[in-house]
Amino acid sequence: MEASLHPELFPMSTCWWIYLLFCLLILGGLFLDLKKRSGSEAAIGHREALLTVLFWIGLALFFCAGIYLYGIWHFPADPRLAGFDAESLARQSSLDFLSGYLVEKSLSIDNLFIFLVVFDFFAIPEKYRHRILFYGIIGALIFRGAFIALGSLLMQIAWVPLFFGVFLIFTGLKVAFGPENHPDPSKNVVIRLLKRLIPISPQFHGEKFFVLDAGRWVGTPLLVTLVFIEVTDIIFAVDSVPAIFAITREPFIVFTSNVFAILGLRALFFLLADMAARFHYLKYGLGFILCFVGVKMAWLDHHFHGGKFPTAYSLGIILLSLLLSGVASWLFPSKNHDT
């Protein structure tokens, strides 16, 4: 029997404790990290950023192995999966997680460039960027969870995968060949509404988002920046969540791969902030990946036995796309960037 025809491997009704434990561990780690840097006036250095990036990547790979081992242990005992090859399901689950993680991580790198523009626009000092990104990630986790829950319901409708697939193809073409227009925070409707609802101080007040001024609470530039980043991530999720559903429709794998991709984003920002202009061919790799997963969701899966294009092949295509765009950026540097 084909793995793609199996029932949900991690149903919320019986695996709720895994979701809860995962969220508690992630939130606990994030708050410990924030407490460690609380009151620190120093910006995150490249060495600390590199070690943090390697830590989150290593943790994601460890979690990927954990999914496989959990499957080997639990799937044979699940009566719903009687008649299925437990080892094959476990391997498929871990490969789906890894593929989804790579897709989300590669798309998140593109989002880092927007963060750079936003921080420069609001003139946010480097020592405060860590705090903004921390709370931005907390908000992103909440919004992604909501998007994924909604997406799981929508994917039950027959025509939704086709719609998402076509949407991803057009998005991929836009990413690859469309103009590189960065959002202008001064023209953002949400920012304008925020300034109407809450008085905004033009000065920074340390790392605070709100301060008490003449008996009333006012926001700081850090608050405005945080709101804009949250809005940007919501827009970004419209592309990224359908992309991961093109890899797998297991809500647990979709959620955890998204979380791990987001968690490493903060440290990755500080590591790549000075190198953003060097990755000028990345957009072609990302555009191809979006087009590929769109074609896979809308058409390719239906032409393979079991209704799913082999995940191992998808993983290879995604890795090759990222590798080629990275090598091309290195071999043919941008004329606007001083090497």
Q: How far is 90 from 27, CA to CA, in rounded Å?
A: 27
For residue 267, what pLDDT is reported?
75
Q: What band does 1 get if pLDDT is binned at 50, 70 and 90?
A: very low
Is 255 domain-assigned? Answer: yes
Quick one: tokens of 216? 């009333």
CA torsion, ordered 256, 261, 267, 270, to nearest 10 deg:
-160
Instruction: Read off the pLDDT of each residue in 87-98 and give the average, rounded to a whole number.
Output: 94
Is 151 domain-assigned? Answer: yes
Is 70 domain-assigned? Answer: yes
* Choice among 35-49, 102-116, 197-211, 229-243 with the minimum mean pLDDT: 35-49
Percent of the chain beyond pLDDT 70?
Answer: 89
Angle at 274 between CA 258 and CA 280, to 5 degrees: 70
Is 22 domain-assigned? Answer: no
Is 44 domain-assigned? Answer: no
Are the C-beta atoms of residues 281 and 325 closer than 8 Å to each other?
yes
Is 265 domain-assigned? Answer: yes
Quick one: tokens of 251? 């809500």
Are the C-beta atoms of residues 249 and 96 closer than 8 Å to each other?
no
Is the model's pLDDT at 240 over the cut of 90?
no
Per the structure, the complete domain to which residue 254 belongs is given by: 53-331
The residue ranking higher by pLDDT, 218 or 183, is: 218
Q: What band does 44 get if pLDDT is binned at 50, 70 and 90?
A: low
Q: What is the mean pLDDT of the chain?
A: 83
Are the C-beta atoms of residues 242 and 248 closer than 8 Å to each other?
no
Any residues with CB less than 8 A from the CB of 323 and at least 6 apart, and which? Answer: none
Is the model's pLDDT at 36 over the cut of 80?
no
SS (HEC) of the chain = CCHHHCCCCCCHHHHHHHHHHHHHHHHHHHHHHHHHHCCCCCCCCHHHHHHHHHHHHHHHHHHHHHHHHHHHHHHHHCHHHCCCCHHHHHHHHHHHHHHHHHHHHHHHHHHHHHHHHHHHHCCCCHHHHHHHHHHHHHHHHHHHHHHHHHHHHHCCCCCHHHHHHHHHHHHHHHHHHCCCCCCCHHHCHHHHHHHHHCCECCCCCCCCCEEEECCEEEECHHHHHHHHHHHHHHHHHHHHHHHHHCCCCCHHHHHHHHHHHHHCHHHHHHHHHHHHHHCCCHHHHHHHHHHHHHHHHHCHHHHCCCCCCCHHHHHHHHHHHHHHHHHHHHHCCCCCCCC
Quick one: tokens of 295? 């074609």
pLDDT tens digit sequence for 145-190: 888 888 888 888 889 989 999 999 999 998 888 876 666 777 778 7
Instruction: Read off the pLDDT of each residue in 307-315 and give the average, rounded to a whole number.
Output: 85
Are the C-beta atoms of residues 220 and 204 closer than 8 Å to each other?
yes
CA distances from 108 to 115, 201, 212, 240, 333 (A): 11, 31, 35, 9, 22
Half-sphere exposure (Cβ direction) of 108: Cα atoms closer than 13 Å: 25
Is 285 domain-assigned? Answer: yes
Is 43 domain-assigned? Answer: no
pLDDT tens digit sequence for 114-154: 777 788 888 888 888 888 888 888 888 888 888 888 888 88
Is the model's pLDDT at 337 over the cut of 60?
no
What is the number of structural domains in the chain? 1
Closest listed residue to residue 22, CA positions, set 72, 67, 55: 67
Backbone angles phi, psi at 203, to 5 degrees: -100, 155
Is the model's pLDDT at 108 over the cut of 80?
no
